[in-house]
Amino acid sequence: DVKVTQSSRYLVKRTGEKVFLECVQDMDHENMFWYRQDPGLGLRLIYFSYDVKMKEKGDIPEGYSVSREKKERFSLILESASTNQTSMYLCASSMNQLREQYFGPGTRLTVT
């Protein structure tokens, strides 16, 4: 069965803290993605990776960085969390360019 896991379902952090969101997939997928989802704005792509140590900016990369040291793991980093980064964060992976993405359960991050 396809499996994408995220390190936390809920997270509360303070402004200025460094935040790590971890995502792991067990399907040997090449491609991994990070999205944020906000009411009225839908899903927006932050970063994606098509191979180990490779990363590409999505539509809203500002304030975020990513790391992919191993194929199965894709980390999203908030260098200095701000209140406007309060959101639902969704990780996804896919086998190749045209096929479906499989999503993790999401992390609801609150920055106070």
Partner 1 sequence: AQKITQTQPGMFVQEKEAVTLDCTYDTSDQSYGLFWYKQPSSGEMIFLIYQGSYDEQNATEGRYSLNFQKARKSANLVISASQLGDSAMYFCAMRLMNRDDKIIFGKGTRLHILP
Q: Tell me the number of residues near partner 1 by CB under 8 A.
A: 25
The whole-angstrom separation of Cα 51 and Cα 55 is 8
Residues whose CB falls within 8 Å of the CB of residue 15, separated by 6 or more in sequence, listed in order: 81, 82, 83, 111, 112
Q: Is 45 in the site for partner 1 (CB under 8 A)?
A: yes
Q: Which is nearer to partner 1, 41 or 65 (CB)?
A: 41
Residue type, 81: A
Segment contacting partner 1 (CB under 8 A): 13-21, 62-70, 73-81, 99-107?
99-107
Of 17-25, 66-74, 77-85, 91-99, the segment contacting partner 1 by CB under 8 A is 91-99
3-state SS assignment for residue 83? helix
Question: To the nearest whole angstrom, how small is the minimum distance from the Cβ of residue 40 to partner 1?
Answer: 8
By the rule CB under 8 A, 34 interacts with partner 1: no
Asked if 91 and 75 count as a contact pair (C-beta separation under 8 A), the reply is no
E strand or H helix at 21, and its extent? Answer: strand 19-25
Q: Which positions lie near partner 1, rule CB under 8 A? A: 31, 33, 40-43, 45, 48, 50, 56, 58, 88, 90, 92, 97-106, 108
